Amino acid sequence: MMNWRRLGKSSVVALALGVSTMALGTGAGLAAPPAAANAGTATRTERPMNVLFIIADDMAARLGSYGAPVRTPNLDRLASQGVSFDRAYAQFPWCAPSRASFLTGTRPDTTRVMDLATPFRQALPDIKTLPQYFKDQGYYSGRIGKIFHQGVPGDIGLGGPDDTQSWTEVVNPRGRDKDAENGALINMTPGIPYGSAMSYLADGGADEEQTDGKVATAAIDMLRANKDKPFFIGVGFYRPHVPEVAPKKYFDMYPLDTIRIADETPEALSKVLPAAKAWTPDHFGMSPDEQRRMIQAYFAATSFMDAQVGRVLASLKELGLEDNTIVVFTSDHGFMLGEHGQWMKNILWEDSARVPLIVRTPGMTKAGTRSERTVELLDLYPTLTSLAGLPHYDRNQGQSLEPLLTDPADPTWTKPALSQVRGGRSVRTERWRYTEWEEGGLGRELYDHQSDPGEHRNLAPDPAYAATVAELKALLPKGPVEKRSKAVSYDPIRDCLVHPLSKAPKGEAKKPPAGGGAKGSGAAAARVCSEIDP
């Protein structure tokens, strides 16, 4: 049982700098971590293998190294030193369900986390999370920023519904961007809470004044303070989650006249299954110019976040920790930027479910290579424990990626990737994506990624593909699924309508505000969803 410890002198200083620090448990008395042999490395390290786990929020696989027109030089450099996974997928492309899944190493049907409020320990009270497992093996386990779910921007600086059993120490930075919600943000979807709104701000000030800048600074301090002990340090950045706030210089990297919006014709949008939409109307009703501005803001926030990752990785090198630290970079899920008329996440299109994933281990023999095998975020738990030489945790439902770190094209790796949302299940192989809505009652989708990477031609109704549908259907989990909520109209309390949460007043969560629509409904949104940010 963990107990909160009193804040020490260093914590008081941190609070003065806009960072809250809490010491939790120490893991004293546990056996020392073992030295570890790494898959894909030339020699065995004699020191215990550390883990630096870096995660972005709402970041699709849109990096320079993934072929996107986004400037991410630091992550591109990391990719040149590690193995990049081109087909990595979240198990539930929404913040809380995804993080609960990969941090416990179990699928959403096991965690029973399908919304933003249900704690995973309700269904799994004695599960050992990934950082907790390392802590119980004698590691220092530190968190900076968003690792488990936090509402953004609501929980910035507070920590949100964290899991105290997982950490030795936590740091909850708060930067000037948190205060930008007090009127400075430009909101394309007025009345919608900022955690969901298409909103942005080209801010002033230095990188270090933003929350993600403070995350990087705190991570550097934590690395320095714990460089002589085995550690698992989770660095959780908040960008590019909306609201898209970054210093103006990052916006200037992307002139509006160079931004391309999704090429979706009215005819194509009319063919999208209603169940495959999370939000209506298409594009939230944004004009093409407004769409360009949101894409510009998303790219800017991504480049800003990349710069902060660079600071952390530079510190790791300066401290002499590269030769015994595993580095992972990923995101909790992807993000739609107008494809199929959709924005954000919580849907089963490729751009929502797919994530960037880069793994670097000391002395890799396959540095700078890419794997096209389908992998899942829940594969990270067994991968990291194995690389660190720790015993396998028998409750893991994923599969170690070690074979792919040695041979990224390993022909024996045939595991598909499974993703789900309420009412929908999807399976992704190297060639196909097959999705069912309410076991087919609300429709089926089949896309051939060899000829249709944008997922525009649904082949499921074509009898010529019946055998393919049957083969892929057999890969989906058996049993009923939760009912699919309808695509939600442009409404300030849509998050409560889609997933009624425990904080919503009883009887109000499902009731639209008087007058409906976004305009004039801000009070209802504030009352019902004041602390609900996806």
What is the CATH number for 288? 3.40.720.10
Cα–Cα distance, 354 to 375 (Å, whole number): 10
Same domain, yes or no: 261 and 286: yes
pLDDT category of residue 2 using cuts at 50, 70 and 90:
very low
| Across 207-229, average pLDDT | 98
Which one of the listed residues 149, 241, 283, 499 is annotated catalytic? 149
Whose structure tokens read 């041979």?
407
Q: What is the pLDDT of residue 486?
A: 57
**Distance, CA of 61 to chain centre:** 11
95 carries an active-site annotation: yes
Asked if residues 195 and 98 have their Cβ atoms less than 8 Å apart, the reply is no
Q: Answer whether residue 333 is part of any domain.
A: yes
pLDDT digits (tens, 9 = 90+) for 342-395: 999 999 999 999 999 999 999 899 999 999 999 999 999 999 999 999 999 999
pLDDT digits (tens, 9 = 90+) for 56-71: 999 999 999 999 999 9
CB count in 10 Å sphere of residue 44 = 11
For residue 420, the surrounding DSSP H or E stretch is: strand 417-421
Same domain, yes or no: 321 and 446: no
The edge-to-edge listing of strands for the beta sheet with 244-247 is 186-187, 199-203, 244-247
In this model, does residue 527 exceed pLDDT 60?
A: no
Q: What is the pLDDT of residue 482?
A: 78
Q: Answer whether residue 4 is part of any domain.
A: no
Asked if residues 59 and 331 have their Cβ atoms less than 8 Å apart, the reply is yes
More confident residue, 531 or 94: 94
496 carries an active-site annotation: no
Same domain, yes or no: 364 and 451: no
Same domain, yes or no: 141 and 225: yes
| Across 256-273, average pLDDT | 94
Which one of the listed residues 95, 283, 340, 529 is annotated catalytic? 95
Whose structure tokens read 């790494």?
38
Same domain, yes or no: 340 and 446: no
| Across 279-307, average pLDDT | 96
Torsion sign across C-alpha atoms 498, 502, 506, 508: negative
Q: Answer whether residue 61 is part of any domain.
A: yes
For residues 116-147, one letter each, b for 16 or more C-beta atoms within 10 angstroms of the residue's C-beta and e for the rest, the string is bbbbbbebbeebbbbbbbbbbbbbbbbbbbbb
**Enclosing domain of residue 394:** 9-416
| Across 232-260, average pLDDT | 98
Instruction: Name the token pair of 244.
Output: 């898209």
Same domain, yes or no: 258 and 336: yes
Q: Where are any strands of DSSP class E within 76-173?
A: 83-89, 140-145, 169-173
**Distance, CA of 251 to chain centre:** 22
Q: What is the pTM of this model?
A: 0.88
| Across 102-108, average pLDDT | 98
Closest C-alpha among 82, 156, 140, 94 to residue 327: 82
| Across 86-107, average pLDDT | 98
Q: Answer whether residue 96 is part of any domain.
A: yes
Instruction: Name the token pair of 390.
Output: 């720790």
pLDDT digits (tens, 9 = 90+) for 448-489: 999 999 999 999 999 999 999 999 999 999 877 877 765 554
Asked if residues 424 and 436 have their Cβ atoms less than 8 Å apart, the reply is yes
pLDDT category of residue 516 using cuts at 50, 70 and 90:
very low
Asked if residues 42 and 363 have their Cβ atoms less than 8 Å apart, the reply is yes
In this model, does residue 508 exceed pLDDT 80?
A: no
List of residues 6+ apart from 298 with CB closer than 8 A: 240, 244, 335, 337
Asked if residues 491 and 510 have their Cβ atoms less than 8 Å apart, the reply is no
Same domain, yes or no: 373 and 429: no
What CATH number did the domain enclosing 459 receive?
A: 3.30.1120.10
> 435 burial class (0-12, 13-18, 19+ CB within 10 angstroms)?
buried
Whether cis (ω within 30° of 0) applies to the bond prior to 153 is yes
Helices (H), 154-195: 176-179
Instruction: Report the DSSP pairing between strands 369-376 and 83-89.
Output: parallel
Q: What is the pLDDT of residue 216?
A: 99
Asked if residues 480 and 455 have their Cβ atoms less than 8 Å apart, the reply is no
More confident residue, 205 or 237: 237
HSE, side-chain direction, 13 A CA sphere, residue 264: 23
Cα–Cα distance, 76 to 82 (Å, whole number): 10
Cα–Cα distance, 323 to 91 (Å, whole number): 32
> 268 burial class (0-12, 13-18, 19+ CB within 10 angstroms)?
middle
Q: Answer whether residue 482 is part of any domain.
A: no
Asked if residues 361 and 50 have their Cβ atoms less than 8 Å apart, the reply is no
Q: What is the pLDDT of residue 479?
A: 76
DSSP for 342-358 reads -EESSS-SHHHHEE-EE
Same domain, yes or no: 199 and 236: yes
Instruction: Name the token pair of 122.
Output: 């309700």
| Across 329-351, average pLDDT | 97
Asked if residues 280 and 345 have their Cβ atoms less than 8 Å apart, the reply is no
Cα–Cα distance, 90 to 350 (Å, whole number): 10
Task: Write down how long the chain is.
Answer: 534
Same domain, yes or no: 278 and 200: yes
pLDDT digits (tens, 9 = 90+) for 144-194: 999 999 999 989 999 899 999 999 999 999 999 998 766 789 999 887 888
Question: Which of 86-90, 368-372, 525-529 comes out lowest in average pLDDT?
Answer: 525-529
Question: Which of 184-188, 209-213, 275-279, 518-522 comes out lowest in average pLDDT?
Answer: 518-522
More confident residue, 175 or 29: 175
CB count in 10 Å sphere of residue 480 = 7
CA 410 vs CA 92, 272, 371: distances in Å: 26, 36, 9
In this model, does residue 441 exceed pLDDT 90?
A: yes
Cα–Cα distance, 375 to 404 (Å, whole number): 10
pLDDT digits (tens, 9 = 90+) for 49-58: 999 999 999 9
Domain count, the chain: 3
Same domain, yes or no: 231 and 341: yes
CA 280 vs CA 263, 292, 393, 432, 490: distances in Å: 18, 19, 43, 27, 6
Q: Answer whether residue 478 is part of any domain.
A: no
Q: Answer whether residue 65 is part of any domain.
A: yes
pLDDT category of residue 20 using cuts at 50, 70 and 90:
low
Question: Average pLDDT, whole number, for the chain?
Answer: 86
Q: What is the pLDDT of residue 46?
A: 72
pLDDT category of residue 304 using cuts at 50, 70 and 90:
very high
In this model, does residue 228 exceed pLDDT 70?
A: yes
Q: What is the pLDDT of residue 43?
A: 44
Same domain, yes or no: 180 and 308: yes
In this model, does residue 39 exceed pLDDT 60?
A: no
Same domain, yes or no: 189 and 210: yes
Q: What is the pLDDT of residue 505?
A: 27
CA 63 vs CA 73, 298, 405, 424: distances in Å: 9, 12, 20, 28
Q: Answer whether residue 196 is part of any domain.
A: yes
